[in-house]
Amino acid sequence: MFSEFLQFLFTGVTIGATYALIALGFTLIYNASHVINFAQGEFLMIGGMATVSFMALGLPMPLAITLAVLLSGLMGVLLQRFAIAPAKKADVVTLIIITIGASIFIRGLAQLLWGKQYHVVPNFSSDEPIRILGAVMNTQSLWVLGIGTVVVVALVLFFTRTMIGKAILATSMNKQASRLVGIKTQFVLMLAFLVSALLGGIAGVVVAPITFTSYDIGIMLGLKGFVAAAIGGLGSGVGAVVGGLCLGIVEAMAAGYLSSDYKDAVAFSMILLVLFFMPRGLFGAKVVERV
Amino acid sequence: MFDQFMKVRLRGMIVLAIIVVVIPLFLTNPFQYDLATQILIVGGAVVGLNLLVGFAGQISLGHAGFFGLGAYFTGIMTGTYGWPAVPTLLLGAAVVGAIAWIVGRPILRLKGHYLSMATLAVGFIIAIIINNESQLTGGPDGMPVPALDLFGWELSSFGLYSFFGIEFDGYELWYFFAGLMLLLAVWLAQNLIDSPIGRGLRAVHGSEVAARVVGVDTAKYKSLVFVISAVYASITGSLYAHFQGFITPAVAGFDFSIILITMVVLGGMGSTYGVILGAAVLTLLPQVLADFQELEMVMFGLILMLTMIFMPKGLLPTLGSMAGKRFAKKTGGQP
């Protein structure tokens, strides 16, 4: 009984950590530009798929992963440069549709390059699962949690200790004031997309051995990240992490105890419940609207 | 002033009516009629969605949920239980309207992206239920829907009809019927926009706080337009079900929700005729691109991106202002 619960918890925390990374990527771009980036899931897809390709070329795994994550980051910069930046004067809704167009475009490219079939990424270390109190844990789960933690700590340090990180924060708080004190906001926007895409790439690579990967894996993962970010409160870093973990755990429990057909319905009902009672999510800041 | 207003509104309707009547001259086979009819039906749904997005400034990412609810309500009630089509369609619209009202009240308190998140969630939940309740809905395989029965007079795409000695094919009649329905949808939408409700909505779009300050009951207007747009979706969903004769959960799916909102934004938010153009472009584009096979997705994404980057206001408003400028240059006066 308890071991079953523990099993679901492991599954939930692992997938939740991935959601948290995606949600953090959303949050970054949202804070910097108020755009919901529907291409966020594609960064994950590129991370996983490019790793497969680089390894097929005979590169050692760590190098393949690094290159794949960098490629994903490059995609983020290109997205900002060529799709978001030229549409400066557009409505936020229009920008959202542009990111939808971009995600279809990237998915189309991936389909051309890698075909429609599923690809397998090997576990980072041993395939032998670990047994804890009767529950089984894939070693890859430890990698997901470990790398997730490292990334979150690195992000916190980046935003509190470095000049560039603070510049991004400042831009997200007040764009015009930041420009006045000499921050190049367009450059900062590009950085936000870069960091966000790197995050996505990392999430995509670490989760790929568990979920497999294919050209269209980004849609659902991206959406779940969006849900996680909204549960936590759009724009809040802590919220993104907590929201991601909550979502992962609730989903795993729902799939385990209720019905796997309805696990997504449970996730989406959860977001409705949270929004009904806390309209700004768990950690969302109170916004005063100016007239 | 009022007369002028009516004239402008009427002119748009007449142009639309002429286009609907002229297009069949270029249609040569049932497949093309099928596409054109789809555009007219889905066009009605986006005219409704545009009221919410373009005039009240609220984003819905789950509108296909309401469209699918209407379609499945019709499918189940007329198909499985043998109810008459028109009362079922109206009852379905009432039920969907009520659901939108119940869900909408708490959701519409939410600002900006939380609202899109909530509508996305509602759409997803509806789609998941339709997918899983297979004894009722046929599940992922879909379900057949009987032909539209207009008070004992059956309208089927495959039928043959004769009026005053002229023979019509069922798909031709369906096309004109859908065109009539679209004109009705546009007429109602135009009236709503120019009513006090419409002015209230535009105030909400401009600034919700300011609207509240001057005494606009923003919550009421927002829920009202949410319900109206859901009713539009439900009715067009029912018509779509009758027209296609077969529905699958895709009509309620997230992809279709995205297509609907994209039609609105691509055609031009806030422009009733623009969003119909958006519906036409987005329905025809995949057909045109199908020749490119593997490149289809890449081209579709690229065209969508480029259009939105270079015409952020949408197709019709941008084309309209370009035509206006050229006209102004020629005459040397104000457009």
Give the max Cα distance, chain B. Answer: 67
pLDDT of A108-160, one tens digit each?
A: 999 998 888 888 888 888 777 888 777 888 888 889 999 999 999 998 898 88
pLDDT of B210-226, one tens digit each?
A: 777 777 777 788 888 89
Mean pLDDT throughout A200-210?
91
What integer best gives the mean pLDDT of chain A? 87
Q: Is the separation of the CB atoms in A47 and A208 below 8 Å? A: yes
Query: Given CA atoms A281, A247, A199, B128 in this order, what sign does their dihedral have?
Result: negative
DSSP for A37-65 reads -TTHHHHHHHHHHHHHHHHHTT--HHHHH
Identify the domain containing residue B224 by its residue range.
Answer: 2-285
Beta bridge partners of B221: none
Query: B308, A98: Cβ pair inside 8 Å?
Result: yes
**Confidence label for A274 from pLDDT (cuts 50, 70 and 90):** confident
As a whole number of angstroms, the distance between CA B237 and CA B72 comes to 8
Q: Is position B46 within any domain?
A: yes
Structure tokens at B275: 């969003």
Contacts with B117 from chain A: Cβ below 8 Å? 226-227, 230, 271, 275
How many structural domains are present in chain B? 1
Q: What percent of chain A has pLDDT over 70?
A: 98
Mean pLDDT throughout A263-276?
84
Structure tokens at B210: 């300011």
pLDDT of A20-69, one tens digit each?
A: 999 999 888 888 888 888 899 999 999 999 999 999 998 999 999 999 99
Query: B114, A275: Cβ pair inside 8 Å?
Result: yes
DSSP reduced 3-state for B160: strand
Regions in chain B scoring below 50 on pLDDT: 332-335
> B331 or A107: whose pLDDT is higher?
A107
Could you identify the residue written with the tokens 């997803």?
Answer: B124
Q: So what's the pLDDT on residue B333?
A: 41
Residue in chain B lying closest to A86 (CA) = B309
To the nearest whole Å, the CA of A83 is away from the closest chain B CA by: 7
DSSP reduced 3-state for B162: strand
CA dihedral A144, A145, A146, A149 (to 10 degrees): 120
Cα separation values, A146 from A17, A26, A27, A95, A151, Å:
10, 21, 21, 34, 9
Question: Which of B308, B310, B315 should one mutate to test binding to chain A, selecting the residue with the greatest count of A CBs within 10 A?
Answer: B308
Closest CA to A119 of A58, A218, A51, A206: A51
DSSP for B201-266 reads HHHHHH-HHHHHHTT--HHHHHHHHHHHHHHHHHHHHHHHHHHHSEE-GGGGSHHHHHHHHHHHHH
**Confidence label for A291 from pLDDT (cuts 50, 70 and 90):** very low
To the nearest whole Å, the CA of B303 is away from the closest chain A CA by: 8
Q: Is position B301 within any domain?
A: no
Q: So what's the pLDDT on residue B334?
A: 41
Beta bridge partners of B161: B168
Could you give the count of Cα atoms lying within 13 Å of A273 in the half-sphere of its Cβ? 7
Instruction: Please enumerate in sequence order all residues whose Cβ is within 8 A of that of A287, keeping only pairs 6 or more positions apart, or say none.
Output: A280, B111
Query: B110, A279: Cβ pair inside 8 Å?
Result: yes
Mean pLDDT throughout A229-253?
89
Q: So what's the pLDDT on residue B5?
A: 59
Mean pLDDT throughout A216-231?
88
DSSP reduced 3-state for A215: coil
CATH architecture of the domain covering A2-277: Orthogonal Bundle (1.10)
Beta bridge partners of B246: B144
To the nearest whole Å, the CA of A251 is away from the closest chain B CA by: 14
Q: Is position B188 within any domain?
A: yes
| CATH code of the domain in which B136 resides | 1.10.3470
Structure tokens at A284: 């969302």
